[in-house]
Chain A
Amino acid sequence: MFTDLGHLAVIFAFITALYAAFISAFGAIRNDDRFVQSGRIAALMIFPLVLIGALGLWYALLTHDFGVRYVASVSNRATPLFFRITALWGSQDGSILFWCLIMSAFVAAAMLRSWGRDKPLLPWVTMTMALVMAFFLFLELFFANAFTRQDFPPADGRGLNPLLRHPGMIIHPPMLYAGYTGLLVPFAFCVASLIERRTDNLWLESSRRWTLVGWAFLTAGLALGGRWAHDVLGWGGYWGWDPSENKPLITWLIATAFLHSAMIQEKRGMFKNWNVFLMMLTFASMFFGTAFIRSGLLTSVHAFAASDIGPVFMVAMVAILAACALLWLTRLDTLKSEHMLDSAFSREGIFLIQNVLFLSSAFTVFIGTVFPLLSEALSGTRITVGPPFYDQVVVPQLLALVLLMGVAPLLAWRKASVASVGRQMIVPLVIALVTSVGLFASGLTQPIALAGFALCAYTLAQTLAEYVRGVRARMQSLGESAPLALLRLAERNQRRYGGYLIHIGVVLLAIGALGKGFYGYDVIRSVKLNESFTVGGYTFTYRGLRAVPCEFNDCQTTQAMLLVTGPDGNLSAVFPSRDFYPAQQHTATIPFTTGHFNEEVYVLLANWENAGALASFQVYVNPLINWVWVGSVVMILGFLVAYWKAPERETAPAVAVRQAVRASAR
């Protein structure tokens, strides 16, 4: 009963969204604030309505109402409370409802903000967000209805997909959804600004914090997805270039390009055109990726069942692209730059190159992701694009971006001086050189890896030097102590120093990726009971298999025990296991890790014969992989520093003055 009420609420939410879109546009055209306010309130109401819908479905999940098809497909009587709650986004239909819930929360938050000087944008922002909202509610209601009842309820459900029973998988989808829908806000502002034919930076400035939030959620979602893959999929890594990983990555790359080039528009009034293009591309990539993954056109480890929402998505996609292109092309005259580029050797110039790199990386990932479909259309055979392609083509571009991170902060706006930039590069370059020589001396001879580590050392040193310079300046001019100076420095310019902290996170992540990529290795070893094998200084002795109780009683778990003697003589034990789920006919290999912080040893039970008389194990040695997680956390910390409080807005002329003063001081 309560579930059907939820269904009804979602239908109302859909109607409300359509109404909000229509009445806002009507109010804007008629220039009548009453209609605009009505639209605002309607858009605000979508959230409570969708929430009632979600509560309805939650109720069905909690009460084991297997008469609801979705409930039967994602849970059963043995599913514990926690997973019954998270099963709301455990499969296609429910996850679209959950997506709607998060999106409507963002819409409501945007409606509740104080609009003040953004008032002229309000109706069109409302219209854009309500339309996107309506589309997703339409999908939920007509193509992926989680409330659908079945005539003959089964006695028990099928249970949650075993792959999804991991904390990383529980938090990862909400993070990604929040990331995408967070980026919907700046998109709506962008559209509104174009419709209003505005020439100023209002849309950028007013939505900047939303963009940051969306970006941060996307970052966290990607990191958690990596953690989940590492812990659950049993492939020893954290990133497999799977379509469902690539899709948020493409959006992340474009959004990151946007975050940077938006700075140029704010400071210098340039690249307006470009920023609109990037914002639209960000949104389109989100939509496009979702269409491909959700429709089952591209198979992925997530394995959402193939469904018929593909064509709907495609139609909507074409409509959105056409509308965006039309809007953009008819407003080109309002998007003229306020300034000319003074020199290619400037912050603006390097940002442009960096933008190009971000876009070409995104394009590369995109082409690799859709190539299976493309090749099928072109030649009839479906070519699978595995990690080797991405490693060879995308990774160099990403490394080039790491280098730019170490150069861009040195270049002044408008025109940088070669001498000054060169001077500031000396110390970090020396550090990079010392690092590579040191690494070479200690036995690392792989030239690309050496270059990569040198690059990371350089950029890390350069970024830290930015802090050092700032702190030292404050200590000298204001007599502050070092910690206080650091605090004040970050407080005074959160965006900049938060941004640098994010850069540090990226470098740490790159160090982890290089370590794992170039020096990680894995072997498979078959051993008899009580026999030993050695991998990278670790000696493993196989002590037998045993059946252990499965967590939720719906699988058969076989666990192996191996004694491990580390290179330092320390004794430990690992228990890799395998879960077999008869209901889903699914096997999961559950890794067990040992080693130390800088060298993870990841053990999998690959196979066994004769009730465990013979067993084979896959052992991955993953040097530095933990820095990937550390880097991700640092990136989020950097975001928090940048976001914490609204920073003082610097106007373009003020920046010019500061530079003039700085130049005269030299």
Chain B
Amino acid sequence: MKRLLLLLLVVWALIGTPPSAQAQDANLDDQTYHIAKQLNCPTCAGRNLADCPTQTCAQWKAEIRSQLERGKSADEVIAFFEARFGPTVRQEPPREGATAILWAAPLGAAVVFLAIAAWVLGQRTARSASAQPPAALANDPYAARLEQEVRESA
């Protein structure tokens, strides 16, 4: 119990600091960075634009920045890249059109899997109502020993 409480305290203490720094001034750097985080890098496979150190990415980031300087909103900047390079540039795939399948498939699969499980559970339970109890245990040496041990310790 003590150990448990201690662990709990540790977990608690760890997470205690609120992320006040998040409320930093939203300057141009931050905005650029925030948008870059939502785009895929054209040259580093599997990384977002903000995290990729290549030249091409630097150009893209400069483009984002200059568009922001010209007063465009974040959505407009992303739309610009999407219009130019297709939906592939977005980190988060859109939820409409063909991509809707992506979002729907796991849900559909989970429902189907759960339905199967529910069916198995329901059916088996119904059948077992009339099923025989498990086979006799008398011949199992392990069971006998266990029984004896339990009797001794009691």
Q: Which residues on A sit within 8 Å (CB–CB) of B92?
A: 386, 388-389
Decide: B142 and A651 in contact? CB cutoff 8 A: yes
Query: Beyond A388-B92, A511-B11, A521-B22, is A344–B1 a contact (Cβ under 8 Å)?
Result: no
Query: Beyond A301-B47, A389-B92, A534-B21, is A344–B121 a contact (Cβ under 8 Å)?
Result: yes
Decide: B8 and A431 in contact? CB cutoff 8 A: yes
Decide: A344 and B99 in contact? CB cutoff 8 A: no
List A376-415 residues whose CB lies under 8 Å from chain B: 378-379, 381-389, 393-394, 397
Decide: A242 and B121 in contact? CB cutoff 8 A: no
Decide: A661 and B99 in contact? CB cutoff 8 A: no
Decide: B124 and A341 in contact? CB cutoff 8 A: yes
Please encode chain B, from 135 to 154, with 1 for each CB lying within 8 Å of some chain A CB and 0 for all others.
Answer: 10100101100110010011
Query: Beyond A434-B8, A661-B147, is A379–B98 a contact (Cβ under 8 Å)?
Result: yes
Cα A598 to Cα B133 with chains together (Å): 53
Q: Which residues on B sit within 8 Å (CB–CB) of A656?
A: 134, 137, 143
Contact residue range for chain A?
A: 35 or more
Cα A234 to Cα B131 with chains together (Å): 60
A314 interface residue per 8 A CB criterion: no
Q: Which residues on A sit within 8 Å (CB–CB) of B18?
A: 442-444
Q: Which residues on A sit within 8 Å (CB–CB) of B135?
A: 653
A37 interface residue per 8 A CB criterion: no
Decide: A578 and B53 in contact? CB cutoff 8 A: yes
How distant is A257 from chain B, measured CB to nearest CB, in Å? 11
B14 interface residue per 8 A CB criterion: yes
Cα A438 to Cα B16 with chains together (Å): 9
A157 interface residue per 8 A CB criterion: no
How distant is A98 from chain B, measured CB to nearest CB, in Å? 23
B59 interface residue per 8 A CB criterion: no
Stretch at the interface among A102-110, A128-136, A356-364: A356-364
Please encode chain B, from 84 to 108, with 1 for each CB lying within 8 Å of some chain A CB and 0 for all others.
Answer: 0011111111000111011101110
Cα A342 to Cα B129 with chains together (Å): 7
Out of B33, B50, B87, B147, name the residue touching A383 (CB < 8 Å).
Answer: B87
Decide: B131 and A340 in contact? CB cutoff 8 A: yes
Out of A381, A465, A477, A588, name the residue touching B86 (CB < 8 Å).
Answer: A381
Cα A86 to Cα B142 with chains together (Å): 50
Decide: B88 and A388 in contact? CB cutoff 8 A: no
Closest to B138 in A: A653
Query: Beyond A352-B117, A363-B109, is A299–B46 a contact (Cβ under 8 Å)?
Result: yes
Stretch at the interface among A193-201, A326-334, A367-375: A367-375
Please encode chain B, from 46 to 70, with 1 for each CB lying within 8 Å of some chain A CB and 0 for all others.
Answer: 1110110110001000000000000
Please encode chain B, from 1 to 20, with 1 for each CB lying within 8 Å of some chain A CB and 0 for all others.
Answer: 10110011001111111111
Q: Which residues on A sit within 8 Å (CB–CB) of B15?
A: 439, 442, 444, 453, 515, 519, 623-624
How distant is A126 from chain B, measured CB to nearest CB, in Å? 32
Decide: A598 and B46 in contact? CB cutoff 8 A: no
Closest to A606 in B: B53
Decide: A536 and B117 in contact? CB cutoff 8 A: no
A537 interface residue per 8 A CB criterion: yes
Closest to B37 in A: A522
Query: Beyond A535-B21, A598-B14, A651-B143, is A477–B102 a contact (Cβ under 8 Å)?
Result: no
Query: Beyond A386-B92, A578-B53, is A439–B44 a contact (Cβ under 8 Å)?
Result: no
Decide: B53 and A587 in contact? CB cutoff 8 A: yes
Q: Which residues on A sit within 8 Å (CB–CB) of B45?
A: 299-301, 303
Closest to A360 in B: B110
A240 interface residue per 8 A CB criterion: yes
Cα A652 to Cα B136 with chains together (Å): 11
Decide: B30 and A524 in contact? CB cutoff 8 A: yes
A353 interface residue per 8 A CB criterion: yes
Q: Which residues on A sit within 8 Å (CB–CB) of B91?
A: 384, 386-388
Out of B21, B48, B106, B127, name the residue touching A521 (CB < 8 Å).
Answer: B21
Cα A460 to Cα B17 with chains together (Å): 22
List A17-75 residues whose CB lies under 8 Å from chain B: none
Decide: A435 and B93 in contact? CB cutoff 8 A: no
Decide: B120 and A243 in contact? CB cutoff 8 A: no
How distant is B42 from chain A, measured CB to nearest CB, in Å? 11
Decide: A301 and B106 in contact? CB cutoff 8 A: no
Decide: A378 and B98 in contact? CB cutoff 8 A: yes
B80 interface residue per 8 A CB criterion: no
Cα A465 to Cα B87 with chains together (Å): 50
Out of B8, B33, B46, name the residue touching A435 (CB < 8 Å).
Answer: B8
Q: Which residues on B sit within 8 Å (CB–CB) of A319?
A: none
Cα A561 to Cα B89 with chains together (Å): 34
Q: Which residues on B sit within 8 Å (CB–CB) of A363?
A: 105-106, 109
How distant is B44 from chain A, measured CB to nearest CB, in Å? 7
Closest to B120 in A: A352
How distant is B35 from chain A, measured CB to nearest CB, in Å? 12
Decide: A339 and B16 in contact? CB cutoff 8 A: no
Q: Which residues on B sit within 8 Å (CB–CB) of A477?
A: 153
Closest to B95 in A: A389
Out of A299, A383, A525, name the residue touching B102 (CB < 8 Å).
Answer: A383
List A444-495 residues whose CB lies under 8 Å from chain B: 444, 453, 456-457, 460-461, 464-465, 468, 477-478
Decide: A393 and B86 in contact? CB cutoff 8 A: no
Decide: A367 and B12 in contact? CB cutoff 8 A: no
A616 interface residue per 8 A CB criterion: yes
Q: Which residues on B sit within 8 Å (CB–CB) of A534?
A: 21
How distant is B83 from chain A, measured CB to nearest CB, in Å? 13
Closest to A242 in B: B46
A517 interface residue per 8 A CB criterion: no
Q: Which residues on A sit within 8 Å (CB–CB) of B44?
A: 301
Decide: B12 and A439 in contact? CB cutoff 8 A: yes
Decide: B106 and A393 in contact? CB cutoff 8 A: yes
Cα A602 to Cα B21 with chains together (Å): 15
Q: Which residues on A sit within 8 Å (CB–CB) of B46?
A: 240, 242-243, 299-301
Decide: B3 and A464 in contact? CB cutoff 8 A: yes
Decide: A623 and B24 in contact? CB cutoff 8 A: no
Q: Which residues on A sit within 8 Å (CB–CB) of B86?
A: 381
Q: Which residues on B sit within 8 Å (CB–CB) of A359?
A: 113
Cα A612 to Cα B139 with chains together (Å): 83
Decide: B21 and A621 in contact? CB cutoff 8 A: yes
Beyond A353-B114, A384-B91, A456-B11, list 9 extra A-B contacts (CB 8 Å). Answer: A303-B45, A341-B128, A386-B48, A389-B92, A393-B106, A461-B8, A624-B15, A657-B143, A661-B147
Mind listing 12 A-B residue pairs with CB under 8 Å? A233-B47, A344-B122, A367-B102, A383-B93, A383-B99, A389-B92, A389-B93, A431-B8, A464-B7, A515-B15, A524-B32, A624-B14
Chain A residues near B (Cβ < 8 Å): 233-236, 240, 242-243, 299-301, 303, 339-344, 349, 352-353, 355-356, 359-360, 363-364, 367-368, 371, 374-375, 378-379, 381-389, 393-394, 397, 431, 434-435, 438-439, 442-444, 453, 456-457, 460-461, 464-465, 468, 477-478, 511, 515, 519, 521, 523-526, 534-537, 578, 587-589, 598-599, 606-607, 616, 618, 621, 623-624, 650-654, 656-658, 661, 665
10 closest A-B pairs by CB = A386-B91, A340-B128, A341-B124, A388-B92, A536-B21, A299-B45, A364-B106, A443-B18, A242-B46, A344-B121
